[in-house]
Amino acid sequence: MITVKELTKRYGAHTAVDALSFTVDKGQIYGLLGPNGAGKTTIFNLLSHIYDYSEGRVTFLGRDITESDQVQVARMGLSRTFQNTRLFAGLSVLDNVKVGLDQAGRYNLFEAMFLLPRRQREERRIAEEASRCLEVLNLSQHSGARPATLPYGIQRRVEIARAIASRPRVLLLDEPAAGLNPEEVLALIDFIRLIKERFQLSILVIEHRMDLIMTLCDTIYVQDFGRTIAVGPPAKIQKDPAVLAAYLGEEEV
Ligand code: ATP
């Protein structure tokens, strides 16, 4: 799905991501671990083209996207969530998910004014698709609610629903369990499993919560000072001496 070669990002003299290489395979879940400031969010910002690369190349679905912009990469099927929930407070859950279906650009002003039936059809299609997405994800009962009235764990799920409504191929989750209580984390783990199965996605997840990372991920990349210090399945990462020394102190994960 994605091949990253020697990806580097510098902020002045500081190298936040240093010659990072990895691949993302279909239907796999990858974890990005590392202490604060290790460069994890920068990697997401590079993949989703919020930031330009300093060096390196990235291919997505076999196409070189090094020169692509944010919108092109999103339309190709790369979607993400952010560290802080970014739902629209004034919109219902259903309308938030409709936003994820990217109405912009499907018709221009002329079409909007003169091709009303087509526009109405398109809006109906978007509403149906958003409802279907909520149904598949067991969120239908919250459809008419404003996000702020819902528990935080549900808001997180709605945000993920919005990110996957457009059926992306790859989903980037930036600390999805931040601020959730242990019960909500367990529900989130089940939810991420459900979306992987139903939507046949590859998922990259940044998370400090070890329970989530160790339970969900097929492969974990551990970053430290912008470099990859360990790669492998959870069982291997838990015992990796470089990880224990650099990230986890002397304790096991
Ligand atoms: P956290 O777990 O705290 O979110 P992280 O691993 O995601 O950390 P990044 O946010 O990617 O780390 O930051 C990596 C390094 O790059 C940090 O030293 C940070 O201060 C620096 N950095 C990130 N964004 C910028 C920016 N826009 N301008 C300058 N430096 C930045």
Which residue's CA lies nearest to atom 19 of ligand 1?
A: 37
Per-position pLDDT tens, the chain of length 253:
999 999 999 998 899 999 999 999 999 999 999 888 888 999 999 999 999 888 999 999 999 998 889 888 998 999 999 888 788 999 999 999 998 886 544 556 666 666 677 777 888 888 899 999 999 999 999 999 999 999 999 999 999 999 998 889 999 999 999 989 999 999 999 999 999 988 889 999 999 888 899 999 999 999 888 889 999 999 999 888 888 887 655 444 4
Q: Is 176 touching ligand 1 by the criterion CB < 6 Å?
A: no
Q: Which of 171, 188, 191, 192 is nearest to 179 (CA)?
A: 188
- What is the C-alpha separation between 206 and 171, in angstroms, rounded? 11
Give this prediction's pTM.
Answer: 0.87
- Mutation probe of ligand 1 site: the residue of 10, 15, 42, 45 with most atoms within 8 A of C-beta: 42
Bridge partners (DSSP) listed for residue 120: none
- Helix 152-164, helix 182-199: angle, nearest 10: 20
- What is the C-alpha separation between 253 and 82, in angstroms, rounded? 25
Q: Up-side HSE of residue 37: CA atoms within 13 Å toward CB? A: 4
H helix runs in 6-146, sequence order: 40-47, 70-76, 93-99, 109-114, 116-136
Backbone angles phi, psi at 218, to 5 degrees: -80, -40
Strand 202-206 to 170-174 pairing: parallel
Q: Is 17 touching ligand 1 by the criterion CB < 6 Å?
A: no
User: Under a CB-based contact definition with an 8 Å cutoff, are residues 165 and 101 in contact?
Assistant: yes
Helix (H, G, I), strand (E, B) or coil at 72: helix
Tokens of 83: 């560290």
> Which residues 6+ apart lie within 8 Å of 101 measured at CB?
126, 129, 130, 165, 166
Tokens of 55: 């060096």
Give distance in angstroms: CA of 230 to centre of ligand 1.
Answer: 20
Give distance in angstroms: CA of 110 to centre of ligand 1.
Answer: 43
* pLDDT score recorded for residue 132: 92
User: Under a CB-based contact definition with an 8 Å cutoff, are residues 173 and 192 in contact?
Assistant: yes
Which residue's CA lies nearest to atom 31 of ligand 1?
A: 11
